[in-house]
């Protein structure tokens, strides 16, 4: 009693002294300085929040919960760590600014409906004025505890305000066994930067999560949860609440956070959520508390975060959100944009070589061949995408095995030799006879031959269009709807093939007739086909070797193509000068490529750029877990494969930049090489 009385005297003296010192500053009323509110009441816990005015703080040690209800047993309060402060009365203490959330567990085994909840707190103004301890008592309406899940013959809710999915639910039906709550929903989060989190919810099979029931909050003083950016949700029709937004399988939520500048911190992140089994069985509201490591922060701010999801995820969301005709138009637009990228380049010499392979050709015939080529390409993308989406298989990876790459590279070499005039490519005579009724006995320009080449070209060049293709595949996989996804892929392919159709439509006007010019143009396409063969091989051979091959091709082309062009085209001063400039350009390019290869480089577009980004390699999920345990840094995990065109582009154009490497100095940079696509590779990829 003496200690309490003495401290009370200290507080009174301090209060009077400090109040006299605050001549110009008005002291807030205690209820304005500290505003408590009951955030939520679950079947086993109550959550209490204090909103603290600027320049005021609360003491951690002053929080008391003197509840003596014999029916409801309150446990130890869960109070996050506060800011340490040297106090003139209490010595070193922990304090809270701005906001603090406290969770108090309780046992309501007697299933009472209400209880008196009492809590005590005390705080001060930064100027030195301290308030006397405050005590509040409120009446809590307690929800009736349910089992971990409710059978479909009892509606969810009772006093908990559930969603009313009972036996009359449109998803009704008796289910013998369901997953326990901790297995039905998995929650995890990782820092994507100093003020951005990625929160992941994973649901079991046939289980969904309600979007409007997801709530994230910080239990760490000085860290605020800002805007949450969700992916596109699916709409379900609830018999009581109408259309509701839900998520299946897995979602990642981008979360903005606000915090003070300073060193790395640990965030106590609390997630509240609720979901159901598709048959009408619902789980009670759930709460999870996890710790998230945050990197150092330069300044206090809420990040102006835009949704940090991959391009293919954005496309998948647009597929789910839009009507089918908007989706078709949008993917046709994707195809037109892809037609302006190098993705379409490999197909131009292939189609042009097939068209010119039969010499003189009418415009209508050339257009028909181009149309067959584009339609075959579109069918290839559509079929591969739909099958991959329905089966969940990585078709593109499966078709990038070394023996397949080598086979198709040899096909391009064979086509190139035909362009050089060594032989004419045509179907064997026996095949021609069997297919005469279909192809009208055409040779290199036959409909069937062109269609087969269009189909194979799409498979080989497929990784170049990975984001739109993967977006449609994700949509098909998540929804099981192959119709919309398939039409989207078909529309994308047609848009991508528009330049090829223009080539066919203009063949009779723009392409040279047989003779010297025809031979020169054909030989030029032959060089392009050889370059494409090397480009495909670069996925499975060392980078410096492929760079050397590009250099040798350029030098040989400078010598032999120049001679061939001069020989086949009527000599004139202007043409000779143009060909000479082209020859000199090829010599310079070839020399530069070979010099870059000697230095150990591999990028033909940047032959003198060194890729010095250092990665720590991981092979399996166990390797990844071990690496995470050994470091407290934010992690960047890069998936790489020799057959992945975008991966090599990232190495050459992104990771090689000094600015990027500097930004990643404070990251744990890991790389998983999934080229082989073995069991360990597939298991690791399924985790992300």
pLDDT tens-digit profile of 93-123? 899 999 999 988 888 777 787 888 889 999 8
Residue 9, pLDDT score: 39
Both 379 and 487 in one domain: the answer is yes
pTM above 0.75, yes or no: no
- The answer to the question of residue 195 being in a domain is yes
Number of H helices, E strands in the chain: 24, 25
- Model confidence at 615, pLDDT cuts 50, 70, 90, reads confident
Both 114 and 185 in one domain: the answer is no
340 phi/psi in degrees, rounded to 5: -90, 0
Both 89 and 202 in one domain: the answer is no
**Which DSSP string corresponds to 419-452?**
HTTS------HHHHHHTHHHHTT--TT-HHHHHH
Both 341 and 294 in one domain: the answer is no
Q: Give the span between the Cα atoms of 557 and 583, in whole angstroms.
A: 8
Both 340 and 428 in one domain: the answer is yes
> CATH no. for residue 285?
2.60.40.1250
- The answer to the question of residue 28 being in a domain is yes
> CATH no. for residue 634?
3.40.30.10
Are β-strands 667-673 and 634-640 bridged in parallel, bridged antiparallel, or unpaired? Answer: parallel
* Average pLDDT of the segment spanning 136-145: 75
Residue 10, pLDDT score: 40
Q: Give the span between the Cα atoms of 201 and 157, in whole angstroms.
A: 23
- The answer to the question of residue 530 being in a domain is no
Please choose, from the candidates 295, 305, 290, the residue with its C-alpha nearest in 3D space to the C-alpha of residue 259. Answer: 295
Both 303 and 330 in one domain: the answer is no
State CA 293 to chain mean position distance: 21
Please choose, from the candidates 126, 100, 84, the residue with its C-alpha nearest in 3D space to the C-alpha of residue 35. Answer: 100
Both 80 and 111 in one domain: the answer is yes
pLDDT tens-digit profile of 62-100? 899 887 766 788 888 888 888 888 776 677 889 999 999
Number of domains in the chain: 4
Residue 389, pLDDT score: 58
- The answer to the question of residue 176 being in a domain is no
Residue 670 has pLDDT above 70, yes or no: yes
Range(s) of the domain holding residue 238:
181-309
Q: Largest alpha-carbon pair distance within the chain?
A: 115
Both 287 and 359 in one domain: the answer is no
Higher per-residue confidence, 515 vs 555:
555
Residue 224 has pLDDT above 80, yes or no: yes
Both 288 and 233 in one domain: the answer is yes
Please choose, from the candidates 502, 503, 510, 508, the residue with its C-alpha nearest in 3D space to the C-alpha of residue 364. Answer: 508
Residue ending a domain, among 512, 532, 566, is 512
Higher per-residue confidence, 262 vs 230:
230
């Amino acid at each position: 009693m003496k200690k309490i009385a003495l401290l009370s005297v200290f507080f009174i003296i301090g209060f009077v002294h400090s109040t006299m010192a605050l001549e110009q500053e008005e002291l807030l009323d205690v209820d304005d300085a500290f505003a408590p509110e009951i955030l939520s009441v679950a079947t086993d816990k109550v959550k209490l929040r204090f909103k603290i005015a600027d320049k005021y703080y609360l003491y951690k040690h002053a929080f008391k919960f003197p509840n003596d209800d014999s029916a409801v047993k309150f446990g130890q309060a869960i109070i996050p760590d506060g800011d340490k402060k040297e106090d003139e009365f209490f010595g070193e203490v922990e304090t809270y600014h701005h906001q603090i959330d406290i969770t108090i567990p309780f046992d309501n085994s007697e299933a009472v409906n209400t209880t008196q909840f009492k809590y005590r707190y005390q705080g001060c103004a930064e100027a030195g004025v301290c308030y006397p301890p405050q005590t509040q008592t409120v009446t809590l309406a307690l929800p009736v505890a349910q089992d971990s899940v409710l059978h479909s013959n009892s509606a969810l809710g009772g006093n908990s305000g559930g969603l009313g999915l009972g036996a009359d639910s449109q998803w009704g039906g008796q289910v013998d066994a369901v997953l326990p709550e901790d297995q039905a929903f998995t929650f995890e989060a990782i820092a994507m930067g100093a003020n951005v989190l990625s929160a992941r919810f994973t649901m079991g099979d046939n289980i969904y999560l309600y979007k409007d029931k997801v709530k994230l909050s910080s239990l760490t003083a000085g860290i605020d949860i800002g805007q949450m950016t969700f992916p596109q949700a699916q709409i379900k029709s609830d018999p009581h609440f109408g259309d509701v937004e839900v998520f299946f399988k897995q979602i990642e939520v981008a979360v903005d956070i606000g915090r003070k500048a300073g060193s790395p911190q640990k965030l106590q992140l609390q997630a509240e959520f609720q979901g159901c089994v598709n048959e009408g069985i619902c789980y009670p509201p759930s709460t999870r508390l996890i710790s998230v490591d945050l990197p150092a922060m330069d300044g206090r701010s809420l990040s102006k975060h835009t949704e940090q999801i991959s391009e293919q995820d954005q496309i998948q969301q647009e597929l789910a959100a839009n009507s089918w005709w908007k989706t078709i138009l949008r993917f046709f637009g994707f195809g037109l944009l892809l037609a302006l990228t190098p993705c379409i380049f490999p197909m131009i010499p292939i189609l042009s070589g097939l068209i010119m392979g039969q010499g003189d050709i009418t415009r209508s015939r050339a257009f028909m061949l181009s149309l067959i080529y584009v339609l075959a390409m579109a069918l290839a993308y559509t079929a591969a995408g739909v099958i991959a989406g329905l089966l969940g298989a990585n078709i593109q990876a499966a078709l990038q095995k070394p023996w397949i790459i080598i086979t198709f590279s040899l096909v391009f070499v064979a086509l190139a030799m035909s362009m050089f005039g060594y032989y004419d490519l045509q179907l064997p005579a026996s095949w021609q006879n069997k297919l005469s009724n279909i192809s009208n006995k055409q040779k290199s320009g036959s409909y069937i031959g062109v269609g087969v080449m269009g189909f194979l070209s799409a498979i080989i060049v497929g990784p170049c269009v990975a984001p739109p293709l993967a977006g449609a595949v994700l949509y098909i996989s998540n929804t099981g709807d192959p119709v919309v996804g398939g039409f989207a892929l078909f529309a994308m392919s047609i848009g991508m093939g528009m330049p090829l159709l223009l080539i066919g439509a203009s063949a009779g006007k723009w392409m040279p007739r047989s003779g010297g010019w025809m031979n020169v143009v054909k030989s030029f396409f032959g060089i392009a086909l050889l370059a494409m063969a090397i480009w495909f091989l670069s996925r499975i051979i060392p980078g410096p070797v492929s760079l050397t091959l590009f250099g040798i091709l350029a030098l040989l082309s400078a010598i032999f193509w120049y001679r061939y062009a001069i020989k086949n085209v009527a000599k004139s001063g202007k043409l000779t000068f143009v060909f000479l400039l082209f020859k000199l350009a090829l010599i310079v390019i070839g020399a530069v490529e070979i010099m870059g290869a000697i230095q150990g480089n591999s990028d033909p577009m940047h032959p003198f750029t060194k890729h010095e980004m250092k990665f720590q390699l991981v092979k399996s999920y166990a390797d990844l877990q071990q690496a995470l345990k050994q470091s407290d840094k934010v992690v960047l995990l890069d998936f790489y494969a020799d057959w992945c065109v975008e991966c090599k582009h990232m190495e050459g154009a992104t990771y090689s930049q000094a600015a990027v490497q500097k930004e990643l100095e404070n990251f744990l940079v890991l790389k998983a090489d999934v080229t082989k696509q073995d069991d360990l590779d597939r298991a690791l990829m399924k985790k992300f």
